Amino acid sequence: MADPRFFKVAGPFTVAEIAKRVGAEIAGAAAADLELHDVAPLETATERELSFLDNRRYLDRFRATRAGAVIVNAKLAPEAPKGATLLITPQPYRAYALAAQAFYPEPPPKPGIAPTAVIDPSATLGEGCAVEHNAVIGPGVVIGKRCAIGANTVLGASVVLGDDVRVGANATLSHSIIGSRVRIYTGVRIGQDGFGFAPDPDAPVKVPQLGRVIVGDDVEIGANTTIDRGAGPDTIIGPGTMIDNLVQIGHNVQIGRGCVLVSQVGISGSTRLGDYVMIGGQGGLTGHLTIGDGAKIGAQAGVMRDVEKGEAVLGSPAMPIREFHYLTAYIRRLATKHRGE
Amino acid sequence: MADPRFFKVAGPFTVAEIAKRVGAEIAGAAAADLELHDVAPLETATERELSFLDNRRYLDRFRATRAGAVIVNAKLAPEAPKGATLLITPQPYRAYALAAQAFYPEPPPKPGIAPTAVIDPSATLGEGCAVEHNAVIGPGVVIGKRCAIGANTVLGASVVLGDDVRVGANATLSHSIIGSRVRIYTGVRIGQDGFGFAPDPDAPVKVPQLGRVIVGDDVEIGANTTIDRGAGPDTIIGPGTMIDNLVQIGHNVQIGRGCVLVSQVGISGSTRLGDYVMIGGQGGLTGHLTIGDGAKIGAQAGVMRDVEKGEAVLGSPAMPIREFHYLTAYIRRLATKHRGE
Amino acid sequence: MADPRFFKVAGPFTVAEIAKRVGAEIAGAAAADLELHDVAPLETATERELSFLDNRRYLDRFRATRAGAVIVNAKLAPEAPKGATLLITPQPYRAYALAAQAFYPEPPPKPGIAPTAVIDPSATLGEGCAVEHNAVIGPGVVIGKRCAIGANTVLGASVVLGDDVRVGANATLSHSIIGSRVRIYTGVRIGQDGFGFAPDPDAPVKVPQLGRVIVGDDVEIGANTTIDRGAGPDTIIGPGTMIDNLVQIGHNVQIGRGCVLVSQVGISGSTRLGDYVMIGGQGGLTGHLTIGDGAKIGAQAGVMRDVEKGEAVLGSPAMPIREFHYLTAYIRRLATKHRGE
């Protein structure tokens, strides 16, 4: 059970209610009326709790679980212990996510403006917004409905937020237009100058950065991530894209819909990503590249050339993932043989 | 045209005024009196706007542009469309930067202390400073003229800033002496303890970090970058050095003049960089190294040894860039051949 | 001498007092009554100052030093200049750390709550705490004795801190239980949601993150580092572990006792580290790995498999360090030979 100091559990829900909510069929012991009071891992769940199996690695735990009900796919269902009610679905992890959302619904922002918040008179806020202590909201800012602005966060002049946006504490936004249902975590920096200057023997000449950051709906931006505004064109993050912590996105970068950027990724200026691109942790892309839809860029890859639609690359410099694995194995074999001589 | 919510355009300027300002000669249609109202990319610029060509890749766009005037070098000038007035210079990007600065001059700080700022009575501020909401300025801090201190930023005891320094929102400085015309972006951390401790079977013994961070004139430090203070010697950033976002600089590091550190670079303790060193994104340097003037360290390079003056290195472990490219190509050829057999 | 604007020196101490404090034996000129007024490097130290030699590289400086007393091991002691009093110990750097702590004791927090701090009435603070300007302390927070909370820092609801914890400025904590004598530097983010969602053709489904971050005693967490809370299990940092700047620790990660994580390291979700593991700068670990006690993971290593107890690995993908060095040398030799042909 989640620590009640930090999380408040809802429910109980019957198996039938959960099945409907997550789109699963009831099987196994099939106690549709059984009341479930919480979610829990297979190994600790009791008969009052709901668990799930998504990874064959945990099959033993599934066989021995005492959970009242378990979400599982049809293929692994026969391995269930006798007493367990099963919720059958082809996507157990997704179904678990929906069930956990039912037990632990995110509390909506508690509307109200903290007395210590500083809001410029020319800013406008939609109904139901929560502005926490010491937040600073600049002139001309436009905030939609039911947004939450964290403590000590700063929204610079004319920033626009859609509806249901949540900005964590100690974040900074400027020169940016943010969609709806976007989550911006603590310490994020959006809209500052890109790294643009013209070389000069005396001193670099700063190039004014005249674009914005445009963030689509349903985007998440992880803690301490930085997104620079465009130099002239805009920096664009497509809808539904998930960005982890400590990621760097340079000026003029364009990211499509539904991409996933794992932590510490860096994307240099003017590079364009299609839709549903995935980049593993610490992956780096140089500037002015084009990355096709659905490309998969491995962890720590160093991408210096365009990547085709659907291509998977790895290594630094990045190459097709099969070539990378072949090459790595080949070299090790060669060296081992040579050493043996 | 830049979004007027975020940027205010100056001008108009005649071609002659711009030519003088950026040090270019007028040619082509040569309409010195033509009034220019804005800067714009080649493909969208109108006859009222100024554009530039710096990269042969965009030559087609140059040939077809409707821009009233274009900054270009002498070699590519003959490709201009008939109606265009040309501004000829050997450094078009630098000239564009200066022109864009004319159209979009950075607004000076608006002098004044926000009522919610907390300034210790023993701190001194030069004339014309702007201190934004909730900034906290500690005892003994000395700030020069025309500085801007962002909202929710904290300057610890005795920090010194020169003139015309801009510190973004939500930044933290301590134990540091900052030159003039320095820009410190949002979320930067300067002057905290270096990562110094003596190993011990029981628990590491913390080594007091007794140095400072000294930042020269005209330095830029990108968002969420961290610079630790020295352990005894100081950590030093030379004048004109440009540091991007999320860079880590360890204790006792010394960086020369005019260096460029791209985002997510990490430099370990006591390493010394000469002047005009460039380090690509995610490059890493171990401690106690000496990097010569003008060295170029590629993106994601892992430098474990000294680098000579002017040397270019790449790879992890880093090697001369020619060797890296040769080696990479050689191995791929070898493996391909082997696979073919 | 450290800059008196930032550091206040204690003392003087006699050689005898220092010897006792650091556990060293007096030798050389052996002036036990000599008064020492400060610590200083070998090359600048005067007869009133204490220095140390820990690295043969600086032997010449030792031979020529004018320091009144020098901490050194027995083996190098014979190289000392005639006038110097010696403090003999097998661990000179550790002894120097203790001596420097004597001369520069860290000032205790100055108890008191800044008038601009915002503390929820339901929060409880132990005696002797210092809360700086604009800090925001949420409902149900429990803070031990003699803690210091930096300016503009935010502690979310129900966070628990032990005794003698120091949190720097502009940091954010939520959903976390912190031990005693922990140091959390500026800009750290602890306890935010992990990067957890179930894939879905429409839009990723967010998985509620129901765990906490548990930080053991005597841990240090460097500037702008991010530690996500667990998804169900907790994210755990063992006692005495030292974490540098800009490190990323994913949800459910478990780190043992006395580990050292250098800056920009990234550890993906659910990976477990034993005790005394060391990870060099920019090292990356994928998820769900097990890393044995005392393992050493080199700078920029990319670890994709479990690492045995005591094993040292390097490279991306990471391999045993000997194999890495052999392979690197072998390939360079091969390519050089081939080029020569």
Q: What is the pLDDT averaged over residues C10-21?
A: 96
Q: Tell me the shortest Cα–Cα distance from B95 to chain C, in angstroms.
A: 37
State residue B57's pLDDT score.
Answer: 85
Contacts of C90 by beta carbon, 8 Å cutoff, 6+ apart: C73, C74
Contact A170 C187 (CB under 8 A): yes
Question: Between the CA of residue A238 and those of A182, A273, A287, B178, what are the distances in Å?
Answer: 11, 10, 19, 39
Q: Tell me the shortest Cα–Cα distance from B123 to chain A, in angstroms.
A: 23
Q: Tell me the shortest Cα–Cα distance from B274 to chain C, in angstroms.
A: 22
Decide: residue C41, CB within 10 A, 0-12 exposed, 13-18 middle, 19+ buried: middle
Question: Between the CA of residue B179 and those of B119, B190, B220, B236, C295, what are the distances in Å?
Answer: 21, 14, 11, 11, 43
State residue C341's pLDDT score.
Answer: 44
Contacts of B302 by beta carbon, 8 Å cutoff, 6+ apart: B283, B284, B315, B316, B317, B318, C282, C299, C300
Catalytic option among A133, A175, A251, A288: A251
Annotated catalytic residue B325: no
State residue C333's pLDDT score.
Answer: 82
Contact A195 B264 (CB under 8 A): no
Q: Which residues of B touch C91 (CB under 8 A)?
A: 198, 200
Write the ipTM: 0.96
Contacts 24+ apart (CB under 8 A), A282-291: A282/B282, A282/C266, A282/C282, A282/C284, A282/C302, A284/A316, A284/B264, A284/B281, A284/B282, A284/B299, A284/B300, A286/B280, A286/B281, A286/B299, A287/A250
The whole-angstrom separation of Cα A9 and Cα C141 is: 20
Contact B226 C187 (CB under 8 A): yes
Is the model's pLDDT at B340 over the cut of 60?
no
Contact A282 B282 (CB under 8 A): yes
The whole-angstrom separation of Cα A79 and Cα C245 is: 46
Sequential pLDDT tens for chain A (341 residues): 799 999 999 989 999 999 999 999 999 888 899 999 999 999 999 999 999 999 888 999 999 999 999 999 999 999 999 989 999 999 999 999 999 999 999 999 999 999 999 999 999 999 999 999 999 999 999 999 999 999 999 999 999 999 999 999 999 999 999 999 999 999 999 999 999 999 877 778 999 999 999 999 999 999 999 999 999 899 999 999 999 999 999 999 999 999 999 999 999 999 999 999 999 999 999 999 999 999 999 999 999 999 999 999 999 999 999 999 988 888 888 777 766 54
The whole-angstrom separation of Cα A319 and Cα A298 is: 10
Torsion of CA B203, B204, B209, B213, to 10 degrees: -120
- For helices B321-340 and C321-340, what crossing angle results, to 10°? 90
Is the model's pLDDT at B339 over the cut of 70?
no
State residue C328's pLDDT score.
Answer: 86
Contact C211 A185 (CB under 8 A): no
Q: Tell me the shortest Cα–Cα distance from B194 to chain C, in angstroms.
A: 9
- B296 close to C (CB below 8 A): no
pLDDT digits (tens, 9 = 90+) for C53-85: 998 889 999 999 999 999 999 999 999 999 899
Taking a C-beta distance cutoff of 8 angstroms, is the pair C174, C191 a contact? yes
- C187 close to B (CB below 8 A): yes
Q: What is the pLDDT averaged over residues C151-169?
A: 98
At residue B199 the predicted structure's pLDDT band, cuts being 50, 70 and 90, is: confident
Contact B171 C170 (CB under 8 A): yes
- Which of C114, C152, C281 is opposite residue B266, by nearest beta carbon? C281
Contact C282 B266 (CB under 8 A): yes
Is the model's pLDDT at C340 over the cut of 60?
no
Q: Which residues of B touch A248 (CB under 8 A)?
A: 244-246, 263-264, 281
> How many B×C Cβ pairs under 8 Å?
169
Q: What is the pLDDT averaged over residues C316-333?
A: 89
Question: How would you classify the pairing of strands C312-314 and C319-320?
Answer: antiparallel
Count CA within 13 A, CB hemisphere, residue B207.
22
Name subunits touching B (3+ CB pairs < 8 A).
A, C
State residue B75's pLDDT score.
Answer: 96
Q: What is the pTM of this model?
A: 0.96
Q: What is the pLDDT averaged over residues B229-236?
A: 95
In chain A, which residue's Cα lies nearest the Cα of B22?
A205
Q: Is C323 helix (H, G, I), strand (E, B) or coil?
A: helix
Q: Which of A118, A173, A207, A226 to mutate to test the interface with B (most CBs of B within 10 A)?
A: A226
Q: Which residues of A touch C154 (CB under 8 A)?
A: 150-152, 169-170, 186
Q: What count of other Cβ atoms lies within 10 Å of the Cβ of residue B287?
A: 17
Taking only residues 50 to 89 of chain B, the set having a beta carbon closer than 8 angstroms to any beta carbon of chain A reads: none
- B271 close to A (CB below 8 A): no
Is the model's pLDDT at B336 over the cut of 80?
no
State residue B30's pLDDT score.
Answer: 84
- A331 close to C (CB below 8 A): yes
Contacts of C286 by beta carbon, 8 Å cutoff, 6+ apart: A280, A281, A299, C268, C271, C303, C304
State residue A33's pLDDT score.
Answer: 95
- Which of B174, B198, B208 is opposite residue C104, by nearest beta carbon? B208
Contact A152 B133 (CB under 8 A): no
Q: How many residues does chain B have?
A: 341
Contact B97 A212 (CB under 8 A): no
Is the model's pLDDT at B302 over the cut of 60?
yes
Q: How many residues does chain C have?
A: 341
State residue B341's pLDDT score.
Answer: 44
Catalytic option among B37, B133, B251, B325: B251
Q: Which stretch of B286-290, B311-315, C199-203 has the lowest confidence by average pLDDT?
A: C199-203
Q: Would residue A220 be called left, alpha or beta, if left means φ above 0 and alpha means ψ between -120 and 50 degrees? A: beta
Q: Tell me the shortest Cα–Cα distance from A263 to chain C, in angstroms.
A: 7
State residue A341's pLDDT score.
Answer: 45
Contact C152 B134 (CB under 8 A): yes
Contacts 24+ apart (CB under 8 A), A271-279: A274/A309, A275/A238
Neighbouring-strand partners of residue C264 = none
Mean pLDDT, chain C, rounded, equals: 95
Neighbouring-strand partners of residue A314 = A319
Q: Is C62 helix (H, G, I), strand (E, B) or coil?
A: helix
- Which of A97, A246, A331 is opposite residue C327, by nearest beta carbon? A331
Taking only residues 195 to 234 of chain A, the set having a beta carbon closer than 8 angstroms to any beta carbon of chain B reads: 195, 197-200, 203-208, 210-212, 224, 226, 228, 232-233
Taking a C-beta distance cutoff of 8 angstroms, is the pair A62, A42 a contact? yes
How many angstroms separate the first and last alpha carbons of chain C? Answer: 59
Contact B195 C332 (CB under 8 A): no
Count CA within 13 A, CB hemisphere, residue B178.
35
Q: Is A289 helix (H, G, I), strand (E, B) or coil?
A: coil
- Which of B103, B224, B299 is opposite residue A284, by nearest beta carbon? B299
pLDDT digits (tens, 9 = 90+) for C254-280: 999 999 999 999 999 999 999 999 999
At residue B338 the predicted structure's pLDDT band, cuts being 50, 70 and 90, is: low
Q: Which of C124, C154, C251, C282 to mutate to test the interface with A (most CBs of A within 10 A)?
A: C154
- B282 close to C (CB below 8 A): yes
- For A312, the token pair is 């998977």
Is the model's pLDDT at C178 over the cut of 50?
yes
Contact B316 C300 (CB under 8 A): yes
Question: Between the CA of residue C190 and those of A118, A222, C316, what are the distances in Å?
Answer: 26, 12, 28
Q: What's the angle, vertex CA C230, arms to CA C292 and CA C184, rounded to 5?
A: 80
Question: Between the CA of residue B250 and those of A237, B127, B256, what are the distances in Å?
Answer: 32, 34, 15
Closest CA to B159 of B145, B177, B172, B171: B177
In chain B, which residue's Cα lies nearest the Cα of A319?
B332
At residue C338 the predicted structure's pLDDT band, cuts being 50, 70 and 90, is: low
Q: Which residues of B touch A152 (CB under 8 A)?
A: 134, 152, 170
Catalytic option among C251, C288, C325, C338: C251
Whether cis (ω within 30° of 0) applies to the bond prior to B239 is no
Is the model's pLDDT at B330 over the cut of 80?
yes
Contact A246 B246 (CB under 8 A): yes
Helix extents (H) in C214-268: none
Is the model's pLDDT at B255 over the cut of 90?
yes
Contact C284 A264 (CB under 8 A): yes
- Which of A200, A211, A304 is opposite residue B94, by nearest beta carbon? A200
